[in-house]
Structure 1
Amino acid sequence: MWPLAFISEEDFKNHVKLTIEKYGEKLESFDLKRFNKNIVDPVKLIFDKTVYHATWDEIISNEIFRQRDKSNNNDIGYFHQRIFQYIENCRVPENGKEGGWDVIYENENGITLPDGFIVHRIYVEMKNKHNTMNSSSAGKTFMKMQNQLLKDDDCACFLVEAIAKKSQNIKWETTVDKQKMGHKLIRRVSIDQFYALVTGQEDAFYQMCLILPQTIQSVVDTMDELNIPRDTVIEEIKSLAKELDIESEDLSIAMAVYMLGFNSYDGFSNLK
């Protein structure tokens, strides 16, 4: 029995597959050129290796993971946002359409907010994490929501956070032009509370999380074209280290790492 009442198994698996496909080039293998595309910080790598008692293999592997992870956050944002296109009464506008909102939820029977106020539409700005907006971005988002309330007196605006500090559906208060602002129809909502509101199922987000791991595995198992990265960075660094003809292996690898960022600096340039 498929456990999610608010989305079909076919739609959910399709959405997971599309999210995995968004990983795209991040699944491509890392060679030394790609690894150092934006020039890594050799001093940080050496501090990290020593302080954390890690091997060179572990530190390089962690840095590759960090670079991949930085790009993957946008793909997970895609997952959180676009799943609502499969949920009744929700739609996900194309980029730049319908005011640029991430999700719009409408219910002709009315939507009851925590304070008892009833509206028929909710416009959503979605964020992956509660601390991803600086004060300027928060101010602009709040003003966008204010303008929407002026245009539509039968709506509320939500800032929905996938990773919130806690489960909540509260009045959002922020600073705009150095003044503290707030409105009962502009709300800060954790994603579990938004799932509950649009599906009518209190633990809908929890149920989705329960089925997600096995669904991802099931989808990955069927994707023959999915790349399995074969990173060669550490092998290339060790090969460069051997060419430096330094007796200590650890120091020779450290010098090879230094060369990633400092190869034109005085002293280092002579090692080439």
Structure 2
Amino acid sequence: MHKYELKFISDKDLFFHVKETVEKYRFNIDLKKFNKNLIDPIKLTFDSKIYGKSLKETIELEIIRQMDKSNTNHIGYFHQNIFQYIDGEWEVPKQGFDLINKREKIYVEMKNKHNTMNSASSQKTYMKMQAMLLDDAENRCMLVEIISKKSQNIPWKVSLDGISRKHDFIRRVSIDKFYEIVTGEKEAFKSLCEVLPFVLDDVISTLEQETVHSTVFEELQKISPNLLKSLYLMSFSKYEGFNTFNI
């Protein structure tokens, strides 16, 4: 195992946290999971024909898309939970804010990208933070963005009922500046990014090679040997006429 030598987190804790995140990627997908949000066979038909892909390739791409959506959430877990190892004062509550430091009275909402929230979501989050300031004037709130337009720690401006609002204790903070706040090191986030590939190599070397196991095709073929027919029957079996569906 490499020595990562970050001043703000031990090698052991960093390895363990990355391993936990990687293991969430180890995705077993069956037909029930594949169809959890109701697959649209008409879209898959269009995708297959327009992009010149076989139906099997199109389904595989849909599986990857679903996995990617889940994995985005797992990366959110990585960013959120690592601070428990960096500073014991930070905790991840079961509900409410993403991160809390009770001693410093700091409440954090963490977003992956600067454009993640629409206007309504921004207003709702800002008002939640305003409420924290009303509860206790010493409270501090932050919207921390992993991928921000620039390095920043500024008052967060939001339009509420057509009026621009900002407060010095409600901050919009890029992830590098948040790491600096937590660790006291200006380049802490950069240092983490530099060692992350080595940590991942070490973690992956301890795990079995296969990360994805799918039974989707086997289960679809039990419905019908014709994959496209299986997709339509899976989604529309209770619709009129589909008991005699032929394609």
Common topology (TM > 0.5): yes
Deviation at 1:22, TM superposition (A): 4.4
Query: Which segment drifts farther, 79-88 or 137-146?
Result: 137-146
For residue 256 of structure 1, what is the aligned residue in structure 2? 230
CA distance in 1, matches of 2:57, 2:222: 17
Question: What's the CA shift string for 1:227-257, capped at 9, x where partnerless?
Answer: 7433132354456554xxxxxxxxx543333
Deviation at 1:4, TM superposition (A): 1.6
CA distance in 2, matches of 1:91, 1:33: 37
For residue 114 of structure 2, what is the aligned residue in structure 1? 130
5 Å matches for 1:225-236?
228-236=211-219
CA distance in 2, matches of 1:163, 1:177: 28
1:20 and 2:22 aligned = yes
- Output the TM-score relative to the length of structure 1: 0.75
Contact 1:173-1:182 within 8 A present in 2 as well: yes
Deviation at 1:195, TM superposition (A): 1.2
Question: What's the CA shift string for 1:198-217, capped at 9, x where partnerless?
Answer: 22333321221222233123
When residues 89 and 231 of structure 1 are mapped into structure 2, their CA distance, relative to the original with a 3 A threshold, is closer
When residues 241 and 148 of structure 1 are mapped into structure 2, their CA distance, relative to the original with a 3 A threshold, is closer
Contact 1:16-1:219 within 8 A present in 2 as well: yes
Unaligned runs of at least 5 residues, structure 1: 107-119, 243-251
Q: Which runs of 4+ in 1 moved over 6 A?
A: none
CA distance in 2, matches of 1:218, 1:69: 23
5 Å matches for 1:104-115?
104=101
CA distance in 2, matches of 1:89, 1:230: 37
For residue 201 of structure 1, what is the aligned residue in structure 2? 185
For residue 66 of structure 2, what is the aligned residue in structure 1? 67
Quick one: which amino acid aligns to residue 140 of structure 1?
A: K
CA distance in 2, matches of 1:105, 1:86: 16
Contact 2:27-2:213 within 8 A present in 1 as well: no
CA distance in 2, matches of 1:150, 1:87: 29
When residues 165 and 43 of structure 1 are mapped into structure 2, their CA distance, relative to the original with a 3 A threshold, is farther
1:103 and 2:87 aligned = no
Unaligned runs of at least 5 residues, structure 2: none
CA distance in 2, matches of 1:151, 1:34: 42
Deviation at 1:218, TM superposition (A): 1.8
When residues 121 and 39 of structure 1 are mapped into structure 2, their CA distance, relative to the original with a 3 A threshold, is closer
1:189 and 2:160 aligned = no
CA distance in 1, matches of 2:211, 2:81: 26
CA distance in 2, matches of 1:260, 1:163: 39
For residue 210 of structure 1, what is the aligned residue in structure 2? 194
5 Å matches for 1:41-190?
41-88=40-87, 90-96=89-95, 100=97, 102-104=99-101, 122-190=106-174
CA distance in 2, matches of 1:129, 1:227: 30
Structure index of larger Rg:
1
